[in-house]
Amino acid sequence: MSLTPPSPDPVRQLSLFSTEAADPSLADLAGLLAGPAEVVRMGGTARLSVVVDAAWRVHVLVAELAARGVPASWEPTEDGRHLVRTAYASTLAPLAVAWLRGAGKRPPAGFHLNGRRLRLWLAAAGAADPPGFLLRLGAGDQSCWPQVRAALAAGGLAGALLDPGAGGPAYRITGRRRLARLAELVGDRPPAAPAADWPGGAA
């Protein structure tokens, strides 16, 4: 599968509420962990990794990580997907300490979702599911789901949990107002992302 990104769209006016209006930070990576990403520790360092299903996601995530001072690499998986992962870095250790409970992950107390975190989650594991939108979850992360759902609801994005038999695990966001809210929070579509795979991208 080619990893050559498509040409960017013409520049659009930036909304004052768009996620691009804020500076990126390492704390934003919590959005990946709300979804299917994993974090592991080694000594005083940690590594973040996530398996994605499309080449455009690789482009977006590598760029988003680089914007936060975190170099990342990728490699194909045996099932035709792509593994994106960072190097072990001391700057990622606080994230791992906050999220890891033994071998599993769990959102820390006070966990919340903002536009920058949602943008990363969506880039890694968001999918159009007309008339709604899916935010996919890690299959083994059941202990995370209640807090993640509460954080979505607190941000005006209350969603229904889909189990694996219904196309999940994922939270499904539906309703015109919620979808408009999601599009506003995550900001403009990255040039590499297909319009159909980004909230408001086909509008």
The three-state DSSP-derived secondary structure of 127-147 is EEECCEEEEECCCCCHHHHHH
- What is the spatial distance between Cα 104 and Cα 74, in angstroms, rounded to a whole number? 23
When pLDDT is averaged across residues 14-43 and rounded to a whole number, the result is 80
Which residues span the domain enclosing 128?
A: 20-195
Domain count, the chain: 1
Q: Is residue 12 part of a domain?
A: no
On whether the CB atoms of residues 20 and 14 are closer than 8 A, the answer is yes
Q: Is residue 121 part of a domain?
A: yes
Burial classification of residue 28, based on how many CB atoms lie within 10 Å of its CB (0-12 exposed, 13-18 middle, 19 or more buried): buried
pLDDT at 3: 57
Q: What are the pLDDT digits (tens) for 83-106?
A: 999 999 999 999 999 999 887 899
Q: Is residue 187 part of a domain?
A: yes
Q: Is residue 53 part of a domain?
A: yes
Q: Is residue 83 part of a domain?
A: yes
Amino acid at 120: L
Q: Angle at the Cα of 185 (from 183 to 187), degrees rounded to 5?
A: 65
Query: Residue 164's domain is classified under what CATH number?
Result: 3.10.28.10
The more confidently predicted of residues 101 and 59 is 59
- Band (22; pLDDT cuts 50, 70, 90): low
Strand partners, 52: 82
Q: Is residue 63 part of a domain?
A: yes
DSSP state of 61: H
Q: Is residue 2 part of a domain?
A: no
Q: Is residue 9 part of a domain?
A: no
